[in-house]
Chain A
């Protein structure tokens, strides 16, 4: 009973869905093709309805009538499909179409004559379904039917091969859908020819109708692609489920539980059910993969390409990352076998390979004088290998070599203003499809946009370099102004050491030690030497601090003790502060964790803030540096009792070249660079408070990092 109903259900589904498709075509369709396609759907609906009635009818007399109704659909289907193809393509021979109409009319007449020419009799299949046995004229009908259907598909295929772009795609969908539908429907004939296979294929037909309708009415690719993908997956799933359901059930019934009867069938069904439940999800994934890989390699998602590039790629300001992302994303989204980006090296006058996937020679570079480059520079056009071959253009061996090395199919210049600053090379598509005008329409502007992004990234990195250089200059300038303190810290110890030694020698020479015993002299000498050592150590310490401070930072973070760094910085600025009668106080919380920063950069920050504080005070005052932990952060406050910052200057505080200092005292880069350095180290700097006349407090925050090495 179940199988009988499935035949009926299949027919009913066909009727309903094809009538719906017909309605959609009439409502939305504007062209003649929609009308003809509606007629095709009507035929399928009639066929489906006939099948439904056959399935539910008990009386053999009625069954034969419904078979005849059913075959109205069968007879007209190839005619309307051919007519649809005739309207959609230029490949159908009009005479054949006319012939199709004539033969259909003929068989239509024959079918309803009360003869056994078309249908002979009925036989019982699957123990409950009355299936027709075929008359003599059915065979030529069947042959013509097959021929017309095949002919229609061949025409679609021929048109598909020669067309491009959107049309090519919609034809492909037409073809795929059509083959799916007709092979499903074809199973019905098999029973007629006594090959008793359950006609579950019928279920593929409405899928086909919906698909083709979409292809005709809306040439909207994205939508149709998704619809088709889902449809195919669903159809595949359905087919697999039925295969699993039917096969074990049949096998078990036939061979294992032949004698078991109804219970055997039940066991078989249960077994099938288990297999289906266990394998459904896996099967779905497999089908999605298969359709993705084999069907949709052909067309990539333009929207995804644009979205990815505008949101993820073109915004990247790190040049290296930018070109690598470009190559990765292009390869993935356009689905090409290889890709590469070459950028112009102005000095060497050559294009170097900076990012690539699957090129043959990763070390290759293109001289500006190479033919490919000259061509791109002069035309700002593209170079498509297939096009050159098709147009039988002679490709010089040198250019062929470059194309081979890059594994290139399409070479596009990246043009900025009028200059070619880079070259984008794309390999063959994985689907083996050729590049179409649609592809070029999107890839050429994309390459231009990339040129802008690359130029931006370059400017950005140059700006970064310029800023680093400015920072270094500022530091050297600062050291210059520090010379008083440094000189003091070096020359005083040297003066003491030298004086001690010289005095001792002169005293000996002048006989001033004549009254001393050798023991006393030795004690004196020991004292002097101890002092000399102490003073030379003092001089060494300051030079070490100075040279460590003066060298550019390595940009490598390590665990740094804030207390110690404050002391080191104080070694540099302490004397100046002392000269200006500025008191210095340090308050470091007990057990303050080390912070993970670049040591020198932290020194730079502290140095600048303390020096600024000193300059804000001018003479007489106090600088207090406190460091404390606040949850996951370390906060360093640098507080001065200086002049404070007026409101109107607050906004500009961290701007480059902003300074309130006298000429020669500062370039204004101090706070600007301090902020950059702090941020590079993952920290924050802000003005905590300031009051004109009372002083200012700056706060620097650094996160407490457990481990992890970070480049800064």
Chain B
């Protein structure tokens, strides 16, 4: 089976580079954006299986992204990768409202992220 299609959004250009290189080298179809609004456009166009997104970005909020993506058809799985930490409150809320996974930065293992992306695509 083919590798899942991914769209990654993060305003940290260097980080998005790391993600892009990692998944590209492993044969994934990954498109990246550094701006939330631009990212939404790409998602609409690419219809990815999985979306990796930062939580707090200028212009758009994690909750907004989630509800927007949930309303899409087909609806991509949403994995948050973020440095935002408010003691787990936001994480719990997002997971409850339909986020597939939530990774804290720095990401403890790229391998684990990759596995989660795959699982998300399959489910």
CB within 8 Å of B: which residues of A? 483-484, 487-488, 490-492, 494-500, 502-503, 506-507, 510, 512, 531, 535, 578-579, 581
Contacts and interface: CB of A to CB of B under 8 A. Distances in A.
Given A491-B83, A503-B22, A579 B107 contact: no
B86 A506 contact: no
Contacts of A510: 26
Contacts of B14: 496, 500, 531, 535
B88 interface: no
B106 A495 contact: yes
Nearest to A538: B14
Contacts of B115: none
Contact of B12 (A496, A500, A579, A581): A496
B58 A499 contact: no
Given A488-B56, A535-B14, A579-B58, A495 B22 contact: no
Nearest to A578: B58
Given A487-B83, A492-B12, A578-B58, A498 B106 contact: yes
Interface of B: 12, 14-15, 18-19, 21-22, 25-26, 56-59, 83-86, 104-107, 109-111
B83 A499 contact: no
A512 B26 contact: yes
Give the residue among B57, B83, B110 with the most A Cβ atoms within 10 A: B83
A245 to B, nearest CB: 99
Given A499-B106, A510-B26, A492 B83 contact: yes
23 contacts: A483-B85, A484-B56, A484-B85, A484-B86, A487-B84, A488-B83, A491-B83, A491-B105, A491-B106, A492-B12, A492-B15, A492-B105, A494-B105, A494-B106, A495-B15, A496-B12, A499-B107, A502-B109, A502-B110, A503-B22, A503-B110, A512-B26, A535-B14
7 closest A-B pairs by beta carbon, nearest first, are A491-B83, A495-B106, A495-B105, A499-B18, A494-B106, A491-B105, A498-B106
Contacts of A494: 105-106
Contact of B86 (A483, A497, A498, A578): A483
Given A483-B85, A495-B15, 16 more contacts: A484-B56, A484-B86, A487-B84, A492-B15, A494-B105, A495-B12, A496-B106, A499-B18, A499-B19, A499-B22, A500-B14, A503-B18, A506-B22, A507-B25, A531-B14, A579-B56
Nearest to B56: A579
A247 B1 CA distance: 135
Contacts of B111: 506
B88 to A, nearest CB: 13
Give the residue among B19, B25, B109 with the most A Cβ atoms within 10 A: B25
A428 B85 CA distance: 72
B15 A487 contact: no
Contacts of A491: 83, 85, 104-106
A488 B84 CA distance: 6
Contacts of B19: 499
Nearest to B23: A503
Nearest to A498: B106
A497 B107 CA distance: 10
A499 B104 CA distance: 13
Nearest to B85: A487
A512 B25 contact: yes
A661 B56 CA distance: 22
Contacts of A488: 56, 83-84
Contact of A484 (B18, B84, B104): B84
B12 A498 contact: no
Given A506-B22, A581-B59, A495 B85 contact: no
B22 A496 contact: no
A495 B107 contact: yes
A101 B110 CA distance: 129
A183 to B, nearest CB: 97
B110 A506 contact: yes
A546 to B, nearest CB: 15
Nearest to B113: A499
Contacts of B105: 491-492, 494-495
Contacts of A502: 109-110
Nearest to B103: A495
Nearest to A576: B56
Give the residue among A492, A506, A535 with the most B Cβ atoms within 10 A: A492
A494 B14 CA distance: 11
A499 B15 contact: yes
Nearest to A510: B26
Contacts of B86: 483-484
A498 B56 contact: no
Nearest to B81: A495
B85 to A, nearest CB: 5
